[in-house]
């Protein structure tokens, strides 16, 4: 099993949902990056359950205990390690499910691969709980990106068929990104946000769940970051995003909508402005040939509906080799898209920081 990724900025995530703790090691950070601990706690709080519509009743403090790599609020250049304690696990909620794979969870596939030796409690290492250390690593990446004049932010693009307004692909406002980061339910159109929240509550009352899409923007990126063929920005970002539990789709710019366009509609034409090249559109999402173009980087992430629902479902009993029915108890989000947004944003920042550190080696 490998839960490590990165070429220049390397992260390794460890722990299980109901173990004593979870955490991350971040390697490759330059020395001297200012670390604002309150700013890191802001991202941790954004991911944490609580007042967010449809979020789980499991509420953890999620205070990262930094073991190494930071001294006097600056990175030291050595591996940064942070541990997050698990203080509110209810392992008994999963006792009745032993040997009965929960539909659309990794229970069956992990059983086949690891022969029953994996930690099953709360999904173990496959749990969304492991996004907490990912978010910490993303917050550290954010601190590095800030020194480079790069800003990242996200909003909920769609939940339950309700679509928020989209980012302007050529003019993403940094003040808007800052406002979204401080919102419990980050949307551009408040009225659409209320409709989404109502859909989530309706799903919860029906013992069901909803999927959704998050949209992330990175602004301030210079042109020329990323490498072909398999080390391009899309590849780096998608690789980390697909490590986030529940992610089933990733698209850049107009993404799949490009399939229904003509080249004359999809191409991003250019013109000279004040002696510099500028784009007239940004259908490609700020990436061409795997390399940043200087336009805002736009990426959308699709989350499937939360697999743990309270309705009775069909599965199999691996012990008796018979069909059976189960009801999943415990504490689960009705829509992981709301908190998943923060994990997706962290993944994007880690990938971008990794690519920018590669570029810094060439200077």
Mean pLDDT of 54-74: 84
β strands within 50-176, DSSP E: 65-68, 70-71, 74-75, 80-85, 151-159, 162-163
Residue 241: which pLDDT band, with cuts at 50, 70 and 90? very high
Q: Alpha-carbon Rg of the chain, whole angstroms? A: 21
Has residue 350 got a pLDDT over 90?
Answer: yes
Q: How far is CA 311 from the centre of its chain?
A: 27
Q: Is 308 annotated as a binding residue?
A: yes
Q: Is 68 annotated as a binding residue?
A: no
Q: Is 304 annotated as a binding residue?
A: yes
Residue 135: which pLDDT band, with cuts at 50, 70 and 90? very high
Q: How far apart are CA 246 and CA 130, in angstroms?
A: 12
Q: Give the start-to-end residue ranges of the domains of the chain.
A: 4-360
Mean pLDDT of 284-289: 98
Has residue 90 got a pLDDT over 60?
Answer: no
Mean pLDDT of 281-294: 98
Has residue 93 got a pLDDT over 60?
Answer: no
Q: Is 131 annotated as a binding residue?
A: no
At the topology level, CATH places domain 4-360 in Chorismate synthase, AroC fold (3.60.150)
Q: Is 47 annotated as a binding residue?
A: yes
Sign of the Cα pseudo-torsion (186, 189, 191, 195, in order):
negative
Q: Is 306 annotated as a binding residue?
A: yes
Across 70-74, 179-183, 332-336, least confident range: 332-336
Q: Is 222 annotated as a binding residue?
A: no
Q: Is 325 annotated as a binding residue?
A: no
Q: Is the peptide bond preceding residue 236 cis, with omega within 30 degrees of 0?
A: no
Q: Is 31 annotated as a binding residue?
A: no
Mean pLDDT of 14-42: 94
pLDDT at residue 338, as a whole number? 95
Mean pLDDT of 96-112: 86
Q: Is 320 annotated as a binding residue?
A: no
Q: How far apart are CA 60 and CA 45, in angstroms?
A: 10
Q: Is 305 annotated as a binding residue?
A: yes
Neighbouring-strand partners of residue 85: 21
């Amino acid at each position: 099993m490998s839960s490590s990724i990165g070429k220049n900025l390397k992260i390794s995530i460890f722990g299980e949902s109901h173990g004593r703790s979870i955490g991350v090691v971040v390697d490759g950070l330059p020395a001297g990056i200012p670390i604002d601990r309150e700013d890191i706690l802001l991202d941790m709080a954004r991911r944490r359950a609580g007042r967010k519509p449809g979020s789980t009743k499991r509420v953890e403090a999620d205070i990262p205990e930094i073991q190494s790599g930071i001294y006097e609020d600056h990175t030291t250049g050595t591996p940064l390690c942070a541990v997050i304690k698990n203080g509110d696990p209810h392992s008994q909620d999963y006792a009745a499910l032993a040997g009965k794979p929960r539909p659309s969870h990794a229970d069956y596939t992990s059983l086949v691969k690891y022969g029953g030796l994996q930690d099953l409690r709360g999904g173990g290492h496959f749990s969304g709980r492991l996004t907490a250390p990912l978010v910490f690593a993303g917050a550290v990446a954010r601190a590095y990106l800030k020194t480079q004049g790069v800003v990242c932010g996200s909003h909920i693009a769609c939940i339950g068929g309700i679509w928020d307004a989209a980012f302007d692909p050529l003019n993403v406002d940094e003040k808007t990104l800052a406002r979204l980061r401080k919102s419990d339910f980050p949307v551009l159109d408040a009225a659409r946000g209320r409709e989404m929240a109502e859909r989530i509550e309706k799903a919860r009352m029906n013992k069901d769940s909803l999927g959704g899409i998050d949209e992330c923007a990175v602004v301030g990126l210079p042109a020329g970051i990323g490498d072909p063929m398999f080390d391009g920005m899309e590849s780096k970002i998608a690789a980390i995003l697909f490590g986030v539990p529940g992610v089933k789709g990733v698209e850049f710019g107009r993404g799949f909508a490009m399939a229904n366009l003509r080249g004359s509609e999809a191409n991003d034409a250019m013109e000279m402005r004040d002696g510099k090249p500028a784009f007239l559109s940004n259908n490609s999402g700020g990436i061409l040939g795997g390399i940043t173009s200087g336009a805002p980087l736009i990426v959308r992430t699709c989350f499937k509906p939360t697999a743990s629902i309270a309705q009775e479902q069909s599965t199999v009993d691996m012990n008796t080799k018979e069909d059976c029915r189960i009801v999943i108890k415990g504490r689960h989000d009705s829509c992981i898209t709301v908190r998943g947004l923060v994990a997706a944003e962290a993944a994007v920042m880690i990938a971008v920081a990794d690519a920018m550190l590669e570029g810094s080696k060439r200077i």
